A and B are shown apart, each in its own frame.
Chain A
């Protein structure tokens, strides 16, 4: 039973365009959501997060949107750059425990 789902295993976007990565969750107790970026042979690195009390958080080219009623969040990258090519993981946690629950990841490919 996957509590955090990233339904697109891969996504290809033209350089300079917007990349939109999606994540769905099933557990209504999740109150904090994070996006991590991972390059091959490296560990994940934190990108951006959002608390359930907000519906949007921005950091430079990266914006995360949270739709609690739909149990859906998305990561927007504008404009997309070649260095953005990586695997992106969505993760969620509930205040009641320490565990992060991770999606399976989406591989983003930025085409020149």
Chain B
């Protein structure tokens, strides 16, 4: 029973490099989310998706792109990494929208940008 799986778990990038974070869920959830968590702050929503083929901006979308080509996968891309994007990234999914249903989270990706 995997739930939400994030890959990779750790990554170190140099400024300007690009990378993609992968999130996969096996619960047939419609809604998926990408958050970042920084020290002393709560989770902040980057982008979210309400179904296959859809994406929308969250609170802090700048510098990130996302795609949801398959219902079970939600990809987060950094086109040109910046030190300000050093953070822990969490993916989550839920059956219904955030307020009415709890979100299920992956264990996070710790990303460092040098």
- For B, the interface residue count at a CB cutoff of 8 angstroms equals 26
Contact A98 B50 (CB under 8 A): yes
CB contacts (< 8 Å) of A44 on chain B: these are 43, 90, 105
Question: Which secondary structure dominates where chain A touches chain B?
Answer: strand
Residues in chain B within 8 A of chain A (CB atoms): 4, 31, 40-45, 48, 50, 56, 58-59, 90, 92, 97-100, 102-108
How many residues from A make CB contacts under 8 Å with B? 25
| Given A98-B31, A98-B98, A104-B40, A42:B107 Cβ within 8 A | yes
Q: Is A22 an interface residue (CB 8 A)?
A: no
25 contacts across the A-B interface (CB closer than 8 A): A4-B42, A31-B99, A34-B102, A41-B107, A41-B108, A43-B4, A43-B90, A43-B107, A43-B108, A44-B105, A45-B105, A46-B103, A46-B104, A49-B102, A89-B43, A93-B98, A93-B99, A95-B99, A98-B50, A98-B56, A98-B97, A100-B99, A102-B42, A102-B43, A104-B41
